[in-house]
A and B are shown apart, each in its own frame.
Chain A
Amino acid sequence: MTQAPVLRDSSKVDLRELAGDALALARSSGASEAEVAVDESDGFSATVRLGEVETVEHNRDKSLAVTVFFGQRSGSASTSDFSRTALEDTVQAACSIARYTAEDPCAGLADPDLLAKEFPDLDLYAPWQLELGQAIEMATMCEQMARDEDSRIVNSEGATVSTHSGREVYANSLGFVGDARGSRHTVSCVVLGKQDGNMQRDYWYTTARHAEDLEPAGRIGRLAAQRAVRRLGGRRIATRQSPVIFEAPVATSLLGHLVGALRGASLYRHASFLLDQLDEQVFSPGIRIHEQPRLPRGAGSTAYDNEGVQTRDRDLVSDGILRGYVLDSYSGRKLQTKSTGNAGGVHNLTLESGRMDLDALLREMGSGLLVTELIGHGVNTVTGDYSRGAAGFWVEEGQIQYPVEEITIAGNLKDMYKRIAHVGSDLDARGNLRTGSVLIDGITIAGS
């Protein structure tokens, strides 16, 4: 059963040609400007649970999305059907919407002088020549290492090995054509530990553009097991104010909230707690947050954004001072400035690490909470109010004492950002938001 059936060649459609057809259709329908994104991807994932194959899933997706402009009115439509008829219907649907939308002086394609002119090879595409049988073997080994790691590992949600690659063409009526390929491979493992009737689950994963950059599958299993068993016997702590360390994998969410508040749409709608904060002290002095869109093999790397605007390295925050926003062409015009090359989001945003590793951060904190899991959506981008469910470990004299659960941590992001005391050297660089562990003073913990 381990023979992977051969999938048909998915590149039978020329995506560039299709994009060109869509633009031509838009033009012949009377649109003054248009843009189109066409993508195609395929791959598979195999999950092994308790030593047996549980799920094999084959994925093949495609989509075409078009936006048309009639002067300063716009409409958008998308389809997963690449037939000529569907293409015509989709362009017509977009045009039909544009008839009813209002004139908007800020609407339109990117400014021509901002479009990318150079397309360096960022080494983002490396399909993994992985047979289904090999994937199953690797997942089996990963899960086995987890189950062998500790006798308290009694159950599992399985180990998964997946590989996906794809291509995306973006073109607009200014003559811009971008054609990018990318791949992503992942090994993950979720296991459960049990002790005295208490059950805890945790996971670990590795993900990379190139399979050779993945961490060994066995290590992923062992880390997942260690993380699950160390949570066993979690207890509540009393309500208090305390310093908190956000372990690197959860600290990335602090960057996510920052991006949410600096997005152009949040700013021009006055729906951001960082309104009018440009060139102001927003983080503690010394904090640097920078974007590196052209990092080779980076999770968020790209030479141009979703509108074709050239990306470039920049500091979003330097020495704690806010230096820029996260804008696309539309919000740039709304705010009387220019796109920052962030249509579609940020690209490899990094909170720069200090010298201390996690152990040193724990010693620096002395007594406090190490947060390893956050749940819920209790973050208000308008006010900065922050209140989320948390689990982790209580720390005394720099040493982990016992696991903690069923508590919340709360504050306001405006204050929390200014109270970041240290950023650890334990950089989690797996995703598009990258940081080490973060020590913040003065967080409210609600518990028993």
Chain B
Amino acid sequence: MTDSLVLAKQTLLEPGGLSESDLDRVLGRLAHPAIDYADMYFQYARHESWVLEEGRVKNGSHSIEQGVGVRVNSGEKTGFSYSDELQLAALTEAADVAGAIAQSGRSEAVLVPCRDTVPVSPLYAGIDPVISLEDAAKVALLERVEAEARRQDPRIKEVIASLSGVHEVVMVVRSDGRLVSDVRPLVRLNVTVIAEHEGRREQGSAGGGGRWDYRYFSDELALGYAREAVRQALVNLDAVDAPAGTMTVVLGPGWPGVLLHEAIGHGLEGDFNRKGTSAFSGRIGERVADPQCTVVDNGTLANRRGSLTVDDEGTPTQNNVLIENGILKTYMQDTLNARLTGTPPTGNGRRESYAHLPMPRMTNTYMLAGKYAPEEILQSVDKGLYAVNFGGGQVDITSGKFVFSASEAYLIENGKVTRPVRGATLIGNGPDVLTRVSMVGNDLELDTGVGTCGKEGQAVPVGVGQPTLLVNELTVGGVQV
């Protein structure tokens, strides 16, 4: 048995007196000719956060959530119920309620063997970040970050710094006999500053994290976030109105990969494509990007925020090539959509918690490096926008229209980066935006570990990345006509 399985049983089964044979019996109740698949998702999550503002850590919070979700699939139908009590009576009831989707009458209980699967080597240590640092040291870290930000420039008027950690233990018990566990640490440090000068105020924000414990935040890294937030705020103090209209846009490396997440990623999720509701439906094998573009969704990168050793259905994650040299290769699948479309699961079945249904979701989505030096790309542009930092984005997967909002951008004039411009939303059409990429940089970067993706009300941590990209004709939503 792996360490994570021992811990999972101790955390999730033993306190409520559940045994593996109890799990077999519950699965047995669900065994019915009309049922294609069923699973139980046990979860314990402990979350804490500390927030500093006005120079002081004024409050912190701590929460524990635990429960089990039972899901039953019959054809395209899904029945789902959950309980926050990890006990046999509650689990049995949840199973009966979820199982009603396919069962008109109760069939004879069939025992389903419940076995340990071949262990997958974990992509992160099975640690509890919350206890990796004394509380006093967490407070001291935030205070050092605050001091570093204020030290940079007298125009910094407010500093808000936050530190959060999650310790999560999950176990998936499936009707096909698979039993998988995972222990998932996640930490994050964030800094937001407000700079004020001559009555004008602007903010800057930076941060990072991943599947580590708090010791990941060395002073070098943590104080670097503070300096970066200050730099952004000061740049924005000088920003002029952004231009409005369609123009050449150069996107910086790293976090601007949110472009790929919105424009391409969501549209390639298996549920939308099975249902034919995505602008990418039925387009496997077609050209959807310039031949320089290869885009992957890779859940197997060690310690990344978007990575998982196994997804929330117990499938090991993979490095899935979504677009290869411009050609659409594959959709991202969970077990339900894989089964219904006769394709293999890709390790993308994810859920926010035991109280939510899994669905195809991204992990770390990024474009591989190309051949151009970033300077070469900028020099090739007569007039355009250079966008290096972004807030969030959104997409309408049916029409394909997507947006993402720049929080740090500059004008490019005659191949040179000139004045900073105020934040603006960029809008484009997912299925053709990558066909208008004309240069791909050799400077692939992944983001620092800050992404959270929302879909149907469920939030999951994700990563993005890309090299510098030149996109011909992207619409910039500034105010300067």
- If A200-B398, A269-B194, A378-B477 touch, whether A97 touches B101 (CB-CB below 8 Å) is no
Cβ-closest chain A residue relative to B159: A269
Contact with B along A362-385 (1 / 0, CB 8 A): 000000000001011110101101
Interface hits, B241-268 → A, CB 8 Å: 242, 244-246
Taking the complex as formed, is A180 at the interface, i.e. its CB lies under 8 A from any CB of chain B? Answer: no
Taking the complex as formed, is B118 at the interface, i.e. its CB lies under 8 A from any CB of chain A? Answer: no
User: Are B64 and A155 closer than 8 Å at their CB atoms?
Assistant: no
**Supplied contacts A77-B63, A378-B425, A387-B423, 14 more A-B pairs, CB within 8 Å:** A59-B82, A62-B84, A78-B62, A97-B59, A97-B62, A100-B136, A101-B59, A199-B399, A387-B405, A387-B424, A389-B427, A391-B399, A410-B479, A444-B478
Taking the complex as formed, is B60 at the interface, i.e. its CB lies under 8 A from any CB of chain A? Answer: yes
User: Are A201 and B399 closer than 8 Å at their CB atoms?
Assistant: yes
User: Are A406 and B392 closer than 8 Å at their CB atoms?
Assistant: no
Give the chain A neighbours of B94 by CB distance below 8 A: 58
CB-defined A-B contacts under 8 Å, sample of 9: A5-B93, A5-B100, A52-B77, A54-B77, A56-B80, A80-B67, A200-B399, A382-B201, A389-B403
User: Are A387 and B425 closer than 8 Å at their CB atoms?
Assistant: yes
Taking the complex as formed, is A186 at the interface, i.e. its CB lies under 8 A from any CB of chain B? Answer: no
A375 CB to closest chain B CB, in angstroms?
Answer: 4
Cβ-closest chain B residue relative to A53: B77
A88-96, A114-122, A211-219 - interface stretch: A88-96
A67 CB to closest chain B CB, in angstroms?
Answer: 8
Taking the complex as formed, is B88 at the interface, i.e. its CB lies under 8 A from any CB of chain A? Answer: no
- If A1-B104, A411-B479, A444-B479 touch, whether A385 touches B423 (CB-CB below 8 Å) is yes
Taking the complex as formed, is B294 at the interface, i.e. its CB lies under 8 A from any CB of chain A? Answer: no
- Contact partner of A408 among B65, B82, B355, B475, CB < 8 A? B475
- If A1-B100, A239-B245 touch, whether A376 touches B58 (CB-CB below 8 Å) is no
By secondary structure, the B interface counts as strand
A56 to B74, CA, bound (A): 12
Taking the complex as formed, is B357 at the interface, i.e. its CB lies under 8 A from any CB of chain A? Answer: yes
Taking the complex as formed, is B428 at the interface, i.e. its CB lies under 8 A from any CB of chain A? Answer: yes
Give the chain B neighbours of A100 by CB distance below 8 A: 57, 60, 135-136, 138-139
Taking the complex as formed, is B338 at the interface, i.e. its CB lies under 8 A from any CB of chain A? Answer: no
- If A1-B100, A58-B81, A447-B475 touch, whether A77 touches B62 (CB-CB below 8 Å) is yes
Give the chain B neighbours of A199 by CB distance below 8 A: 277, 279, 398-399
User: Are B194 and A382 closer than 8 Å at their CB atoms?
Assistant: yes
By secondary structure, the A interface counts as strand
Cβ-closest chain B residue relative to A200: B399
Interface hits, A377-425 → B, CB 8 Å: 377-378, 380, 382-383, 385, 387-389, 391, 405-412
A62 to B424, CA, bound (A): 40
User: Are B135 and A1 closer than 8 Å at their CB atoms?
Assistant: no
Taking the complex as formed, is B97 at the interface, i.e. its CB lies under 8 A from any CB of chain A? Answer: yes
Question: Which residues of B come within 8 Å of A, CB atoms?
Answer: 48, 50, 53, 56-67, 76-85, 93-94, 96-98, 100-104, 135-136, 138-139, 157-158, 160, 194, 196, 201-203, 242, 244-246, 275-277, 279, 355, 357, 391-396, 398-399, 401-405, 422-425, 427-429, 475-481
Give chain A's interface residue range (CB within 8 Å of chain B): 35 or more
- If A383-B201, A406-B429 touch, whether A97 touches B478 (CB-CB below 8 Å) is no
- Contact partner of A376 among B62, B64, B394, CB < 8 A? B394
User: Are B160 and A269 closer than 8 Å at their CB atoms?
Assistant: yes
Taking the complex as formed, is A99 at the interface, i.e. its CB lies under 8 A from any CB of chain B? Answer: yes
Cβ-closest chain B residue relative to A272: B201
User: Are A192 and B423 closer than 8 Å at their CB atoms?
Assistant: no
User: Are B475 and A157 closer than 8 Å at their CB atoms?
Assistant: no
Give the chain A neighbours of B78 by CB distance below 8 A: 54-56
Cβ-closest chain A residue relative to B356: A57
